[in-house]
Every structure is written in structure tokens, then in C-alpha cells.
């Protein structure tokens, strides 16, 4: 990897808001309406992933606008005896255009594996929805020097992927130790992992977009986006308040 230039212009043109379970339904709708107003005055594309129960109301609130709405998870099968799950067809019915899969919170708290995340991703792709698949190493894996092999293991079951159109799948690199911690990798560390992801995926996908996620705020976005491979950010905490979301978009343009 070559050195990163101080003057490198940011290529980050997408902010995906992962609202996790931070907001209630009314709060989500209000923030989504305000976020739409922000999106109209900024060049950065804005996508929102509210909680499952807020999805329908948020999708309704921004319907027909430039703001895309997606889910934070989705089951791999269709209608059936799958208590507690939701199907890709339901997401489409609600007006969703994408879903996140394989988030580290799903992996660490709810037993998601790389194999099950890939099954979800493939079902979403087959249904025509976009997918953001999250990968990332733990603090221990990084300390042991196992970052790159961890990422490759997580990517392995995703490919080959049943892609119906270019750009349908996005990978988000989210180091587990960075999520919600205020700690971030350097732009060089991000670049190293992003290059690995792109190289691995290149046999299967052209021009894969790779995002960065983990403690992104207005204060560090410009520095993180110095990694030229960063196509955008997957943002948790800072996307759940209007002022911090506005500050982030102001930074990115």
C-alpha cells in the first residue's frame, strides 16, 4: 500500500445511519424527517436503517425522496414458521431498498455467524434488495496480528454472490473494538483492510463499494476518509442526533 497523501480528497459520498435500537418509533420518524431536510442540502447520499419496528413509519415519512430506508437484519427464507424473523418480501412491501447483515452486534450478541450472514445476504440479493455486509476484527484478533485472516474468513461464504446489478452489495469494514468506543483505526489501517476486501472481491464483483464504520463523527470523518478506498461511512451513535448528523454531513459536503 502506498502512503496516504495529506491533500487526498475524500471519496466518501454515502452516509448510512444505523440507528440500532437507540430510538423509539416517533423519535425515528421525527429524525428521519429532519434528516431528509439535511439530505436535500448536502451532496452526500443518506441512507437510514431504523429499528425493525420503526421501519414502516420511517419508510412512509421519507417515501419517494432521495433518502433510502433499510433494515438492520433480514431472514434468509420466505414466508413460514420462523418466529421472530422478517422476510425480504416484507421489507420490499414496506419500501425498503437495502438491509444490513452480519453486524458485529448481531454476531456477538445474537449468535450470527459468517455463514448465516451470507445466507441472509444472498436471500436479499436474490430478492433484488441491496445489502451492506459488515466485517471486522475484535481487539484480540488485531492484537494477535490476525486482522486480515479474520476479514477473509468473514468474507469467504459471501462469494460468489447472486448479484442482479452492479453496486447491489456493499461491504462495511467495522472493527469491533471501534464500534461505540470512540477509538478508530488510522486511515492507513483502514486502507489496508479495504484493499484486502476489494482484492478478494474483485474476482466476483466489479467496483465494490467499501464503507468504514466505528465511532465516526464530524470530528474524525475527514481524517478517516483520507483512506481513498472509503466510499462512505456506516454510522451509529453520531447518526442518532440531528446536530451530530448535521455536523457530519457538513464535514463531508
Residue of 74, 77, 176, 76 lying closest to 134 (CA atoms) = 176
Our CA angle for 197, 200, 204, nearest 5°, is: 115
Is residue 123 at the binding interface for ligand 13P, with CB under 6 A as the rule?
no
Is residue 102 at the binding interface for ligand 13P, with CB under 6 A as the rule?
no
Q: Are 218 and 42 in contact (CB under 8 A)?
A: no
Helices 187-201 & 147-155, crossing angle to 10 degrees? Answer: 40
Among 174, 176, 185, 245, binds ligand 13P (CB under 6 A): 174
Is residue 112 at the binding interface for ligand 13P, with CB under 6 A as the rule?
no
Is residue 136 at the binding interface for ligand 13P, with CB under 6 A as the rule?
no
Question: Where does this chain touch ligand 13P (CB under 6 A) — which range of 85-93, 141-149, 197-205, 236-244?
Answer: 236-244
Residue of 132, 126, 50, 134 lying closest to 95 (CA atoms) = 50
Residue of 179, 181, 170 lying closest to 137 (CA atoms) = 179
* Cα dihedral value 78, 79, 82, 88, nearest 10: 50
Is residue 232 at the binding interface for ligand 13P, with CB under 6 A as the rule?
no
> Is residue 103 annotated as part of the catalytic site, yes or no?
yes
Among 180, 192, 242, 250, binds ligand 13P (CB under 6 A): 180
> Is residue 174 annotated as part of the catalytic site, yes or no?
yes
Q: Which of 174, 191, 194, 200 is labelled catalytic?
A: 174
Is residue 17 at the binding interface for ligand 13P, with CB under 6 A as the rule?
no
Among 136, 213, 228, 232, binds ligand 13P (CB under 6 A): 213
Among 10, 18, 150, 154, binds ligand 13P (CB under 6 A): 18
Among 236, 245, 249, 252, binds ligand 13P (CB under 6 A): 236
Q: Are 50 and 81 in contact (CB under 8 A)?
A: no
- Using the Cα atoms of residue 117, residue 120, residue 125 and residue 130 in order, give the sign of their dihedral: negative
- Give the binding site for ligand 13P (CB under 6 A): 18, 103, 174, 179-180, 213-216, 234-238
Q: Which residues are catalytic?
A: 103, 174
Amino acid at each position: 500500500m502506498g502512503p496516504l497523501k495529506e491533500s487526498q480528497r475524500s471519496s466518501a459520498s454515502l452516509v448510512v445511519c444505523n440507528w440500532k435500537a437507540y430510538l423509539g418509533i416517533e423519535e425515528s420518524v421525527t429524525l428521519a424527517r429532519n434528516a431528509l431536510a439535511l439530505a436535500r442540502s448536502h451532496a452526500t447520499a443518506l441512507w437510514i436503517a431504523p429499528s425493525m419496528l420503526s421501519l414502516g413509519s420511517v419508510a412512509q415519512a421519507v417515501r419517494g425522496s432521495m433518502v433510502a430506508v433499510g433494515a438492520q437484519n433480514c431472514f434468509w427464507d420466505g414466508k413460514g414458521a420462523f418466529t421472530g424473523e422478517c422476510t425480504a418480501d416484507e421489507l420490499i412491501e414496506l419500501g425498503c431498498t437495502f438491509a444490513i447483515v452480519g453486524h458485529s452486534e448481531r454476531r456477538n450478541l445474537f449468535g450470527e455467524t459468517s455463514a448465516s450472514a451470507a445466507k441472509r445476504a444472498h436471500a436479499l440479493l436474490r430478492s433484488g434488495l441491496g445489502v451492506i455486509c459488515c466485517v471486522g476484527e475484535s481487539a484480540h484478533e488485531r492484537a494477535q496480528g490476525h486482522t486480515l485472516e479474520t476479514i477473509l474468513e468473514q468474507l469467504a461464504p459471501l462469494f460468489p454472490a447472486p448479484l442482479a446489478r452492479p453496486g447491489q452489495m456493499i461491504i462495511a469494514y467495522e472493527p469491533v473494538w471501534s464500534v461505540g468506543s470512540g477509538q478508530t483505526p488510522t486511515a492507513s489501517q483502514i486502507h489496508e483492510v479495504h484493499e484486502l476486501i476489494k482484492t478478494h472481491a474483485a474476482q466476483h464483483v466489479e467496483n465494490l463499494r467499501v464503507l468504514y464504520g466505528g465511532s465516526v463523527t464530524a470530528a474524525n470523518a475527514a481524517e478517516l476518509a483520507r483512506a481513498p478506498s472509503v466510499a462512505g461511512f456506516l454510522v451509529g451513535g453520531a447518526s442518532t442526533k440531528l446536530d451530530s448528523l448535521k455536523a457530519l454531513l457538513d464535514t463531508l459536503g
